[in-house]
Structure 1
């Protein structure tokens, strides 16, 4: 049985062309990407050891080995952080006996007050699973008519993969889908992530499970939205991690003057009706 760490290393190896690392073309290969032999040689480890890591038979490689693999695959800083995180959770999987369960949904009063001060701006409190726990009236105006907030407990990840309207609303749906799946690896706990993915996978289908196993580290550029009113919105996201709560405060800022004017013209309800969803 594989592990998140092994899956990521194998996925990166399969997607890395030898020529990009200055390696000679050894002719036709059985599978795409970098050979195990070449990666092991670049990392200074044996092919047998690399195979054990990829197949999940070795769950605790040393820091030196992890860094050597990162160097051998020429990972960028974001990918290196993800590799270290997967190493951490893979090593702890054997001792994780907590029953999978959903995360807490309550938001601290001081966080809600911070959100209230951001009115009439566009902001939400969420977690890595995509649960929308509280939002401003500005966020509601931007998502009005899309169905995102229709559920009693709205979840952005579930919406993206199960509601057909999401593919129209998000102009760069593929990129947003990659972002949401990647964030599941940073869920409040491994147990939370297991609970959510097992619940969502049957309805989300292969589009979801395929992305989950690819470990694509997203770039997170400007968010482009096709609002039902007919205007396109471009928003920059600023995220404040609320690490003690395993939550995030995300503020959306217009990326250009055209978006700022369009947002100002959207109808919105009274800011005093800030909504916390428990």
Structure 2
């Protein structure tokens, strides 16, 4: 089977699928032959994907912070599409600001989606995958999980927790043939990234240039490869880890950030 169709017959579920990296992951999975349940809190984007890809994509609304809703959605997916082979956790939110000004509700909301949501989805899927003796779970985190970022304590901490949760889960389910890995993107051209540039002097173009060049004042290195990632760059890494080409890879943390963290 060619690499372009190496996921033929596989069933996948993607959270945060309505736009950005989640949307790119859905497209990459479908292009390689998988059928995908695309979920998002706002299903509009996922429904647009389903309209474009026909029977390759099915759209559902899903709040990953609601464990009962997660359980219902995964049960429905298995009843209607078949046993899940692949689960990709992409759903995430960002709330920035200095720790001294951080609101308790914002902190809780970020962890509810970025960490607890990953646990809800992964736990429900892994219970089924371990019973079958196969499956792949990939969590999209962030390079902020491994390198401190000024003004991003809640986001970075939540992503670091998601990484370690995924690794611990992977250790527990490895004997059952289930692999768990994480992909940690750096700055990527998504709506979340553009929102960070909204207040930049000089606009989005200046904001993008600042990310590539780095900022000594905020202790942030630039991007050695000299470009912002496209969502497809991240999606390709996710699909690789979900495929049989990565059959002997688990508990791995793959940075897709153009060298921005110097892999510190």
Query: Would the TM-score normalized by the shorter structure come out above 0.5?
Result: no
With the length of structure 1 as denominator, give the TM-score of the two structures. Answer: 0.23
Max radius of gyration: which structure? 1
With the length of structure 2 as denominator, give the TM-score of the two structures. Answer: 0.24
